[in-house]
Amino acid sequence: MIGVLDYGVGNVSAFLRAFYLNGVPAKAVSCPDDYESVSKLILPGVGAFDSAMEKLNNSGLRNKLDHLVMQENTPLLGVCIGMHMLGRASSEGNLDGLGYISGVTEKLKRKIDNEVMVLPHMGWNEVSIPCDDVIWEGINLKEGFYFLHSYAFLPDQSNSIIGCSVYSESFACAIRSSNVYGFQFHPEKSLSNGIKLLTNFAKI
Amino acid sequence: MLRPRITPCLLLRNSGLVKTKQFTDDKYVGDPINAVKIFNEKSVDELLVIDIDASRLGIDPDYSVIERLANESRMPLCYGGGIKTVRQAERIIQLGVEKVAISSAVLESPLLIRQLSETIGSQSIVGVLDVKKSIFKGYEIYINNGKKKIKGSLIYWIKAFQEYGAGEILINSIDRDGMQNGYDLELVKLTKKFITIPVTFLGGASSLDDIGDLIETFGVAGCAAGSLFVFKGKYRAVLISYPSFIEKYELVLNRISKFKGHF
Amino acid sequence: MTDHRICTRCVMDTSDSLIDFDDVGVCDHCRTYDQKIAPIWQMGEGRDDELATIVDRIKKDGRGKDFDCILGMSGGIDSSYLLYLVTEKLGLKPLVFHVDAGWNSQIAVNNIERLVDGLGLDLYTHVIDWQEIKSLQRAYFKSGVPHIDTPQDHAFFATMYKFAADNKIKNIVTGGNYSTECVRNPKEWMYHQSDSMQLRDIYKQHGDAPLKTYPITNILWHKVYLPYFKGIKLHRLLDFLPYDKESATQFLVDNYGFERYPQKHFESRFTRFYESYWLTEKFGYDTRKVQFSSLILTGQMSREEALMKLESPAYDPNTVHLEFEYIASKLDMSKEELTECFELPNRTYKDYANQEQLYLLGTRALNFLGKELGGKR
């Protein structure tokens, strides 16, 4: 059973719907009891870093989440702000991140050769991968995924990077450290590629 | 490379889809849920659904229809029409919609954008400008289906939306609506200097070539179209269409290479 | 309790309660084919002269006009192949006529686009008011009868006839054909969809707001008045040429980018659900038996293959609940409400007002005049 953390941030129903239509058992996790029988977790995220961290910290879900991910190695997939939250901190805010993957989040470069880049990075972009990971199986990387963000994760270890994309500069759009995955784009809104990614995650 | 979005735009009236010409003369297009289902299967980049009566009539958005549309969309969905309060916007986002498009409410009170950004986040706010060209005064802004003029120039409002924290701007040409005579490229060129957030243009697209022209003129933008993806041929026969991924990719690659400037 | 018995030649069986077997176990559907249909149809061979007469008439009627006939196009293989034949082989200028009842699948829409573009033709679409057809479909579900696809079918024909009459178009071309449809659904399973008295009575008893724009035809109008008084004729041109479904499909795939349907009637999401699930599970009527039997009789399928296919359900048991939910949701019903309809006692067309006698009389007359072969029973 996949548990989609419902802490008041992110398109929880889109994840649940995507899993439901593809025969993957999934439920929303809004209180600690809901962790029951969950074997994998999704951390959705949208909006501002501090707002999301605060809501997660106050949701009552935080302690068990830390335990499941760090002690029991429960697979976790963080999306967009959910990915930023996996790190230590973000220049977008003041609160600490979860610290599951070593790294910080910084704003995408706004100026290239004196031209102002439009932010947020919004739309469909392709992904390139340094090496195979089961999560990418059956995915059309050229078609890519839907992005919507102004900040990007900078991992301390380059081998945490499992996917890159380019907007003004190259940035890590997919990271992984052991049981924890982070994706900058929105698989729940990326058509067949997104569904494939989510069902691949469910099969790990 | 970030690709320009090619976005079908569907208009809702009395729970059914319609298509207009210069904001009048509507033709019935059918059931919105089946249309969205077909667009989903055609893998569209994103979808824009606008209720054209809700604001004018002062009625609430139809949450039941919105929820069902969101259920069928595995790609980003933007809904507009009748949104006047933070509570309404929040409810719509919770139904699974990515973005809300707002016109009259933010033109009457731009502070609403800031209030919304504090709850649903900037990225989910699309400020809509319906524009009509006047002979002496350039482009003017309208609300209520093009019937009531608003003070302030196009540039003034683009800057205001950006300052108050909108995540995207949708510029809709009333003159070109349903006319299928190409996007208003003068309008497009005019806005380029002032826009610092994502923008989408709507009104006039009659072919993929027109979309190509928009890309060549502006660079990466949202290229929205209604009639193009919903009608076919000289009898304006209702038939949903959308370019395949290859067609889209080739068009974009070809035309972006001709664009001079930055995104 | 009657034992289950199946025809020794085709695969129709006692789920058709009026089926009748001869002393070697061959059913009456097969006998009707042998005696009434095959001798005239001749598998579409050697009918060039008849075809030429019809084509000449169509060309003459259409002289000086933008198009000489309208062709009813669903996006399915029959109407798609017919469109190709009529345009490229017979030299006609059809207006492609499509009726949108709100259930088009993406494949159907795509196929229509490819054929229209590939053949350089004009398309005309009539969109039925969704709120009205939804009300009608809800009424049919509540009525308990098996023929709940009548709202779509009735609308298709009524719209085409009305369009032809309003625009003074003398020739309508449709993809109905003996090659894949020589065995017809028993009336018990799918009663005459053109019977407007039945439609009105079902709606009166189970419908809601009055129908204002939904197109209604009636059998006398389109089978007698239009052809004999207005000269508007329906032509089933696929009957005048050899028509092999599989090679026709492959041809369109190779030359027009036609996309195959995973199942029959996949053009309409509603029809697919209705025939594969509702009709089979609620009534025990499996229309695949009718379709396969037609293909067996016309040499396009072996009985063994048909029997093998009939062993698995017509729907995918893993995903049918998703279809069920979609249908319910689209018709503004909860899953529970649609389930209640499913559990209603099974009714028949006889439970509602109908013009069956008129149809029986009409069929006899047309058979006598040689204008129709076989006929629905």
pLDDT above 70 coverage of chain C, percent: 98
Average pLDDT in chain C: 94
User: Can you read off the two tokens belonging to residue C277?
Assistant: 């699930």
Q: Is A33 on the interface with C (CB under 8 A)?
A: no
Nearest CA in chain A to B92: A11
Nearest CA in chain C to A22: C319
Weakest mean pLDDT among C219-223, C317-321, C369-373? C369-373
User: Can you read off the two tokens belonging to residue C210?
Assistant: 């009055």
Cβ B156 vs Cβ B138: under 8 Å? no
User: Can you read off the two tokens belonging to residue B15?
Assistant: 């729970």
Looking at beta carbons, which residues of chain B come within 8 Å of C124? 235, 237
Beta carbons of B123 and A122 less than 8 Å apart: yes
Residue B249: C-alpha distances to residues A144, B210, B222, B246 (Å): 12, 15, 15, 5
Place of tokens 């006839």: C161
| 3-class secondary structure, B245 | helix
pLDDT on residue B58: 86
DSSP 8-state assignment for residue C228: I
User: Can you read off the two tokens belonging to residue B102?
Assistant: 């707002």
The chain C residues in contact with chain A (CB within 8 A) are 318-319, 322
State how far the Cα of C83 lies from the Cα of B235, in Å rounded to an integer: 18
Dihedral over Cα of C281, C283, C289, C294: its sign: negative
Looking at beta carbons, which residues of chain C come within 8 Å of A192? none
State how far the Cα of C377 lies from the Cα of C184, in Å rounded to an integer: 8
Cβ C100 vs Cβ C267: under 8 Å? no
Looking at beta carbons, which residues of chain B come within 8 Å of A166? 1
Cβ B52 vs Cβ B13: under 8 Å? yes
Cβ C144 vs Cβ C350: under 8 Å? no
Looking at beta carbons, which residues of chain A come within 8 Å of B261? 115
What are C73-127's pLDDT values in tens digits?
A: 999 999 999 999 999 999 999 999 999 999 999 999 999 999 999 999 999 999 9
What are B27-61's pLDDT values in tens digits?
A: 999 999 999 999 999 999 999 999 998 888 889 99
User: Can you read off the two tokens belonging to residue B187?
Assistant: 């309008």
Beta carbons of A13 and B74 less than 8 Å apart: no
Element (H, E) at A66: helix A62-66
Q: Which amino acid is at B35?
A: A
More confident residue, B260 or C102: C102
Q: Is B247 left (phi over 0), alpha (psi -120 to 50) or beta?
A: alpha
User: Can you read off the two tokens belonging to residue B135?
Assistant: 């002979």
Place of tokens 């002289």: C63
Beta carbons of B196 and A190 less than 8 Å apart: no
Nearest CA in chain A to C322: A21
Choose the closest CB to A118 out of B3, B197, B249: B197
Q: Is A88 on the interface with B (CB under 8 A)?
A: no
Whether residue C269 is predicted with pLDDT greater than 60 in this model: the reply is yes
Backbone φ, ψ for residue C136 (5° rounding) = -65, -45
Cβ B26 vs Cβ C127: under 8 Å? no
State how far the Cα of B118 lies from the Cα of C270, in Å rounded to an integer: 44
Place of tokens 């599989």: C246
Whether residue C373 is predicted with pLDDT greater than 90 in this model: the reply is no
Q: Is A108 on the interface with B (CB under 8 A)?
A: no
Q: Is A184 on the interface with B (CB under 8 A)?
A: no
Nearest CA in chain C to A17: C322
State how far the Cα of B99 lies from the Cα of B93, in Å rounded to an integer: 7
DSSP 8-state assignment for residue C224: I
Q: Is A54 on the interface with B (CB under 8 A)?
A: no
Q: Which amino acid is at B260?
A: K
Strands B168-173 and B125-134: parallel
Contacts (Cβ under 8 Å, ≥6 apart) of B253: none
Weakest mean pLDDT among B134-143, B166-175, C133-142? B134-143
Q: Is A134 on the interface with C (CB under 8 A)?
A: no
State how far the Cα of B93 lies from the Cα of B64, in Å rounded to an integer: 13
Collect the ranges in chain A with pLDDT lower than 50: none
Choose the closest CB to B123 out of A18, A120, A143: A120
What are B174-210's pLDDT values in tens digits?
A: 999 988 899 999 999 999 989 999 999 999 999 999 9
Nearest CA in chain B to C330: B33
Q: Is B89 on the interface with A (CB under 8 A)?
A: no
Domain ranges of chain B: 6-258
Q: Is B247 on the interface with C (CB under 8 A)?
A: no
Nearest CA in chain B to C99: B238
Nearest CA in chain A to B45: A124
pLDDT on residue C374: 67
Beta carbons of B40 and A191 less than 8 Å apart: yes
User: Can you read off the two tokens belonging to residue B82?
Assistant: 């009748």
Burial (Cβ within 10 Å: 0-12, 13-18, ≥19) of residue C358? middle
* Terminal C-alpha separation, chain C: 23
Q: Is A16 on the interface with C (CB under 8 A)?
A: no
pLDDT on residue B137: 83
Backbone φ, ψ for residue C80 (5° rounding) = -70, -45
Burial (Cβ within 10 Å: 0-12, 13-18, ≥19) of residue B174? buried
Which residue segments constitute the domains of chain A, with CATH numbers given?
Answer: 2-203 (3.40.50.880)
pLDDT on residue A114: 67
Fold for the domain defined by B6-258:
TIM Barrel (3.20.20)
- Region B241-250: what's the mean pLDDT? 95
Name B38's bridge partners: none
DSSP 8-state assignment for residue B14: T
pLDDT on residue B262: 60
pLDDT on residue C369: 76
Cβ C280 vs Cβ C113: under 8 Å? no
Beta carbons of C318 and A21 less than 8 Å apart: no
Looking at beta carbons, which residues of chain B come within 8 Å of A118? 195-199, 220, 263
Selection from C9, C7, C78, C128 nearest residue C264 by Cα: C78
Q: Which of residues 178 through 217 in chain B touch A, CB cutoff 8 A?
A: 195-199
- Residue length of chain A: 204
A25 min Cα distance to partner chain C (Å) = 13
Looking at beta carbons, which residues of chain C come within 8 Å of A16? none
Beta carbons of B28 and C129 less than 8 Å apart: yes
Q: How many CB atoms lie within 10 A of CB A154?
A: 15
Q: Which of residues 64 through 103 in chain C touch B, CB cutoff 8 A?
A: 98, 100, 102-103
Confidence class for position C279, pLDDT limits 50, 70, 90: very high
- Region B91-99: what's the mean pLDDT? 93
Q: Which amino acid is at C109?
A: V
Exposure on the CB side of residue A171, measured as CA atoms within 13 A = 27
pLDDT on residue C3: 80
Strands B125-134 and B99-102: parallel
C273 min Cα distance to partner chain A (Å) = 17
- Report whether the peptide linkage leading into residue A120 is cis, meaning its omega lies within 30 degrees of zero: yes
Beta carbons of B38 and C269 less than 8 Å apart: no
> B: neighbours with 3+ CB pairs under 8 Å?
A, C
Q: Which of residues 144 through 163 in chain B touch C, CB cutoff 8 A?
A: none
Burial (Cβ within 10 Å: 0-12, 13-18, ≥19) of residue B168? buried
Q: What residues of A are labeled active site? A: 80, 186, 188
A189 min Cα distance to partner chain B (Å) = 4
Beta carbons of C123 and B71 less than 8 Å apart: no
State how far the Cα of B193 lies from the Cα of C51, in Å rounded to an integer: 66
Residue B195: C-alpha distances to residues A122, A170, B110, B190 (Å): 14, 23, 17, 10
Nearest CA in chain B to C96: B237
Q: Which amino acid is at A66?
A: D
State how far the Cα of C374 lies from the Cα of C377, in Å rounded to an integer: 9
Confidence class for position B20, pLDDT limits 50, 70, 90: confident
Q: What residues of B are labeled active site? A: 130
Q: Is C272 on the interface with B (CB under 8 A)?
A: no
- Region C189-206: what's the mean pLDDT? 96
A19 min Cα distance to partner chain B (Å) = 11
- b/e burial code for range A143-152 (CB count within 10 A of at least 16 → b): bbbbbbbbbb
Beta carbons of C330 and B33 less than 8 Å apart: yes
pLDDT on residue C262: 81
Selection from A71, A62, A64, A60 nearest residue A38 by Cα: A64
- Region C361-370: what's the mean pLDDT? 80
Whether residue C248 is predicted with pLDDT greater than 90 in this model: the reply is yes
Looking at beta carbons, which residues of chain B come within 8 Å of C73? none
pLDDT on residue A186: 97
Exposure on the CB side of residue C337, measured as CA atoms within 13 A = 13
Looking at beta carbons, which residues of chain B come within 8 Å of C123? 232-233, 235, 237, 239
Whether residue C349 is predicted with pLDDT greater than 80 in this model: the reply is yes
Chain B with chain C: Cβ pairs closer than 8 A: 63
